Copies of this chain bind each other. A is one copy, B any other.
């Protein structure tokens, strides 16, 4: 199998990640539950992971790194915790349902009003629109760092400046960028950074987190056992405990910690350059094919994604041919990005998405490009 669905999850994990998970499964007690060897072993590894993640994203201290099961949980905590009822928020057409559905939930259950910065037919945003949409009731900007469909990377530093100028909470979904491009919470003026562990960070599934700046304090969403302050009827006020209830995924976090070591040792710039080179190699091959329409603006900064269609063919059909006839895994359909498909005009067709990882090879790219060429000639005619 040649795997090009790394924007959904990276299938190839560094060996050190797998080894760290195995080691954790052989040695970990329950972190923050007791002071015996097994519990301390888990607690130490998890605290080290917090420190690494804080450093990796230029955060505001290890205690402001909250572990979650995935980016979706982090976004639910952030959006429901930071946006007051009846407030107005600004988001974008580029969002994944992990942002959209929590926002719609707040609209339907808490009277929150939402405006979206529109994407044009190339999937680009116009940054002036953020400022134009601000009203007296606006309390937050929620946006992705990069589209999971076209790969377009947003200038979050620019959006962050707007958020700060108007004293708005700035919530960023880094699901597509964590581990793929540098993220600096302070420079980008991000208040709540939501990330997942199993995509660009190359860690285990079941990991992710939320980083809080020092100027936000949000209400707990999940409540329960914390191993400390057991006589309090409410969740303890101290971070990260305030936002973490129940046993953490210590085994997964150990793997995530090793994954960050791998990225730092390899170099985020090296990883980014390789992924970009693979993407560009594929792009150069398929852009010449007259049957292929590629989505997104090729001149913009992008994560390693190419989304395209072949004539009017259903993206699911193309993806199935790639899978069953060529052993190539790509992702068709809507990619949980309904608003961007509307902007691109691809609601009924969906799009075929290739997303590349550091562990893909040029040979795989060439095979995939050859497969797309063959399909262009033979299929859907």
Q: Could you tell me the distance between the alpha carbons of A105 and B5 in the complex, rounded to whole angstroms?
A: 40
| Most chain B CB within a 10 A radius of its CB, from A1, A27, A336 | A336
State whether the Cβ of A29 lies closer than 8 Å to any Cβ in chain B. Answer: yes
Contacting pair A224 B102 (CB below 8 A): yes
Q: Is A226 in the interface zone, CB < 8 Å from B?
A: yes
**With A and B bound together, what is the CA distance between A27 and B251 in angstroms?**
18
The answer to whether A230 and B334 have CB atoms under 8 Å apart is yes
Name the B residues within 8 Å of A26 (CB-CB): 13, 18
- A188-223 residues with Cβ-Cβ distance < 8 A to B are 196, 198, 204-207, 222-223
**Which residues of chain B are within 8 angstroms of A312 by Cβ–Cβ distance?**
none
Of A33-41, A283-291, A361-369, the one with at least 4 CB within 8 A of chain B? A33-41
Please indicate the chain B residues that have their CB under 8 angstroms from the CB of A224 in the complex.
72, 75-76, 96-99, 101-102
Instruction: Say whether B36 contacts A249, CB under 8 Å.
Output: no
Of the listed residues A8, A22, A73, the one surrounded by the most CB atoms of chain B closer than 10 A to its CB is: A8
Interface residues of A in 133-158 (CB under 8 A from B): none
Which chain B residues lie closer than 8 Å to A70 at the CB level?
246-247, 249
What are 12 residue pairs bridging A and B, where the CB atoms are less than 8 Å apart in the complex?
A: A1-B37, A5-B34, A11-B38, A21-B251, A29-B329, A35-B320, A69-B69, A69-B246, A76-B222, A101-B224, A204-B251, A230-B335
| B73 adjacent to A246 (CB under 8 Å) | yes
Chain A 309-325: CB-based contact to B (< 8 A → 1; otherwise 0): 00000001001101100
Stretch among A58-66, A161-169, A231-239, A299-307 lining the B interface:
A231-239
Q: A332: CB under 8 A from chain B?
A: yes
Number of interface residues of A (CB under 8 A): 86
17 additional A-B residue pairs with CB within 8 Å, beyond A21-B21, A206-B248, A225-B336: A5-B30, A9-B33, A11-B28, A11-B29, A34-B333, A72-B224, A76-B223, A96-B224, A97-B230, A98-B246, A101-B245, A196-B246, A205-B247, A206-B250, A206-B251, A206-B252, A230-B338
Tell me, in angstroms, the Cα distance from A25 to B14 when the chains sit together.
10
Q: A100 within 8 Å of B by Cβ?
A: yes
Q: Is A327 an interface residue (CB 8 A)?
A: yes
- Copies of this subunit: 2
Does residue A71 face the partner (Cβ distance < 8 Å to B)?
Answer: yes
A271 to B235, CA, bound (A): 35
CB neighbours of A371 from chain B (8 A)? none
Which of B35, B226, B338 is A323 in contact with, Cβ under 8 Å?
B35
| A330 interface hit (Cβ, 8 Å) | yes
In the complex, whether A227 has a CB less than 8 A from a CB of chain B is yes
Task: Specify the chain B residue showing the minimal Cβ separation from A335.
Answer: B230
Contact residue among B3, B248, B249 (Cβ-Cβ distance under 8 Å from A38): B3
Contacts of A231 in B (CB 8 A): 334, 338, 347
- Distance between Cα atoms of A231 and B334 in the complex (Å): 8
User: What separation, in Å, do the CA atoms of A335 and B26 have in the docked complex?
Assistant: 23
Please give, as numbers and ranges, the residues of chain B lying within 8 Å of A68 by CB-CB distance: 69
Q: Given A37-B329, A230-B333, A205–B29 Cβ distance below 8 Å?
A: no
Q: Which of B36, B96, B320, B335 is within 8 Å of A331, CB to CB? A: B36
Residues from chain B with Cβ under 8 Å of A333 in the complex: 34, 230
Residues of B within 8 A of A251 (CB): 21, 204-206, 252
A104 interfacial contact with B, CB 8 Å: yes
